[in-house]
Amino acid sequence: MGWRSPSLWQKAKEGVDSPVERLRPSVLLFIDMDTLHSAGYARKEKGDAMSKNIQTMERFVEAQNNHDSAAVVACFAPDFRRKSAETGWEEMGAGNYADMSDRYWAAFPDTHFEVEHLLEDGDFVFMQYMETGTWTGVWEMPGGISIPPQNTPYESRGIITCTMDENGLIRRYCYHHEGGFVKAYPILARMTVRTMNKDADQG
């Protein structure tokens, strides 16, 4: 299965700013990168001169892998908002994202992003990556919920679609994944989407 139609790329771009992201992850996770590249979409290769947008995404990945929430937030525009299925597609601001990340890294101290594809089209950026980690710490959730470590690893392919501001900072951020994380930890099926976003209505 490949992403053969440029119209799907356009839908991905529009979905970043839509109230609810309805693109199926199965569509987004089997993308024919050569087809997109030949259609004129910029693909980042090693040795390429990097745009401001791509430089930001490189810094974002480095900060994620260093588990540095301050460096992650430095990649965000002042009006940053994030959406994902885990938070019911409710918008999350930079402060909540940093708090969620710190809690997550405490539970998964070896979590790591390996970028597979990084593309841009104007102010739109698409990143596909493989995420790995091991749940070895207590996962402290908002509201005093604590989930004990499962002491097992996970592997999950995900995508991040973003729109960037004029300074190359991330304004809108949508996250999708193929489900490997949840499959590795059945205990998470009992969590509500709002558990992950402590102030969903405040950003």
Residue 21 lies in a domain: no
Examine the pLDDT at 187 and tell me if it is beyond 80.
Answer: yes
Residue 7 lies in a domain: no
Total domains in the fold of the chain: 1
CA dist 177 and 85 (Å) reads 9
Residue 54 lies in a domain: yes
Examine the pLDDT at 108 and tell me if it is beyond 70.
Answer: yes
Write out the residue range of the structural domain in which residue 58 sits: 50-195
Examine the pLDDT at 167 and tell me if it is beyond 80.
Answer: yes
Residue 58 lies in a domain: yes
Examine the pLDDT at 111 and tell me if it is beyond 60.
Answer: yes
**What percentage of the chain has pLDDT greater than the value 90?**
42
Residue 154 lies in a domain: yes
pTM of the model: 0.77
Averaged pLDDT, 146-160: 93
CATH of the domain at 109: 3.10.450.50
Residue 64 lies in a domain: yes
pLDDT at 3: 36
Top mean-pLDDT range of 1-5, 151-155, 187-191: 151-155
Residue 30 lies in a domain: no
Q: Give the other-Cβ count within 10 Å of 151's Cβ.
A: 9
